[in-house]
Amino acid sequence: MIGKKNLGEMEQKITQQKNASLMARPTEEGRFGDFGGRFVPESLIPACKELEEAFIDAWSDESFKDRYHQILSQYGGRPTPVTTCEQLSKVLGVKVMLKREDLAHTGSHKINNVIGQGLLAQRMGKTRFIAETGAGQHGVATATAAALLGLECVVYMGSKDTRRQELNVFRMELLGAKVESVESGSKTLKDAINEAMRDWVASFDSTHYCIGSVMGPHPYPWMVREFQRVIGDEARAQSVELGIGVPDFVIACVGGGSNAAGTFAGFVDTEANLVGVEAYGGAAIGQGSPGVVHGSKSVLLQDNDGQVTEANSISAGLDYPGVGPEHAFLNSIGRVKYEQVNDQEVLEAFQLLARTEGIIPALESAHALAYVVREAGKQIPTSSTVLITLSGRGDKDVAQVRELLK
């Protein structure tokens, strides 16, 4: 495949040209190949179009971009560093570097997206900011951006999750947000999304729906990827500064897929092997099939009738039965490989990073790490250079891990 030395030069050039056009703008209908689109009730079509126009306008406006980058640097702690892991590299026999999104404000990459959408909401004259959240990371980030930018904030969260993540509920409330506990359906992330969409149908005049991942109707998958590409753009420049050039492997965990999309966007035109790692219990690409939910065509976990089924993994952040449409596309053309790791492998990688490098990763991020731990010297040849996006810090998971290790 891509990067193999026996490719003819011509072929290689063609591949590079093809890759250069990847992760650019989707079609006008919001398609990435067969995937994407805008499968929402008629009432929401004008809201999606208004947002699309506002985003296109803002993203080509240097003053908007400057403000976005300025907030991310002065408030959000960007650029986040790339850390070379000496001990872990010795253990694994491959050179491991971590893109440290865990060091961004609120403890994960989610801040990049919410600052972008918050500024956009202001620009559109919206005064209310709503979001869904699973484990609470995106909810906390949204509440943070709302507090910073003076927006009223409501976060929808499944009632199962409000119980599991009481502290995050309190955190959001401290930040001035109202948390709505969702009792419908499976009472988890997917139902929180449904409820946020129902709110938006009735409120889009004054309200912006801040979706937390590269999913939903057009322009969300594209827009959220663009607000997250700062991860990949920074990491690419940092890899050069570290004397690595382009890493052999670039790896990130995938639930909805926003940190992975942002990371891959910086490397898709290179010869790096891109790997997205899904949770075994929530592997939409690995175990799902094509379908339409939450506004776009992608792949998802469902039964024979087309009823969406529940994901179930150790990490609430990856407990989503679908995946962003652009990932479904990148998988279909083979540019990104999607792999799965199980809960046990994740727990081991979680502890290994803590002991060897003094970093406690989010359970979500530990999935990307677990793949490297398992495949170093196998799928990932010895001495390869490997960049892993550490999407968040693990403080939120410590209590759960303690229970699991008892």
Q: Which residues are catalytic?
A: 85, 109
Residue 30, SS3 per DSSP: coil
Query: What are the strands, taking DSSP E only, across 159-293?
Result: 178-182, 207-209, 249-253, 273-279, 289-293
Between residues 18 and 49, which has the closer beta carbon with respect to another protein? Answer: 49
Among 106, 162, 188, 194, binds another protein (CB under 8 A): 194
198 binds another protein (CB under 8 A): yes
CA end-to-end span of the chain:
44
Q: Which stretch binds another protein (CB under 8 A): 121-129, 141-149, 173-181, 194-202?
A: 194-202
Question: Looking only at Cα atoms, what is the longest distance across the chain?
Answer: 59
Query: What tokens were used for 133?
Result: 């959240």
Between residues 176 and 185, which has the closer beta carbon with respect to another protein? Answer: 185
Among 4, 6, 29, 378, binds another protein (CB under 8 A): 29
Between residues 116 and 216, which has the closer beta carbon with respect to another protein? Answer: 216
* Ranges within 296-315 binding another protein (CB under 8 A): 297, 302, 304-309
Length of the chain, in residues: 406
Between residues 197 and 231, which has the closer beta carbon with respect to another protein? Answer: 197
Amino acid in the structure at residue 319: D
* Of the candidates 382, 387, 395, the residue with the CA atom closest to the CA atom of residue 369: 387
Using CB under 8 A as the criterion, what x/- string covers residues 261-300 for binding another protein? Answer: -----------------------------xxxxxx-x---
Report the distance separating Cα 406 and Cα 402, nearest Å: 6
Q: Which stretch binds another protein (CB under 8 A): 41-49, 351-359, 379-387, 395-403?
A: 41-49
* φ, ψ dihedrals at 338, nearest 5°: -110, 125
45 binds another protein (CB under 8 A): yes
Contacts of 74 (CB under 8 A, 6+ apart): none
Q: How far is the CB of 130 from another protein (least distance, A)?
A: 14
Q: To 10 degrees, what angle do helices 45-59 and 110-123 make?
A: 100
Query: What tokens were used for 81?
Result: 């560093």
* Of the candidates 122, 116, 96, the residue with the CA atom closest to the CA atom of residue 211: 116
* Ranges within 47-76 binding another protein (CB under 8 A): 47
Between residues 125 and 290, which has the closer beta carbon with respect to another protein? Answer: 290
125 binds another protein (CB under 8 A): no
Binding site for another protein (CB under 8 A): 29, 37-43, 45-47, 184-185, 190-191, 194, 197-198, 201-205, 290-295, 297, 302, 304-309
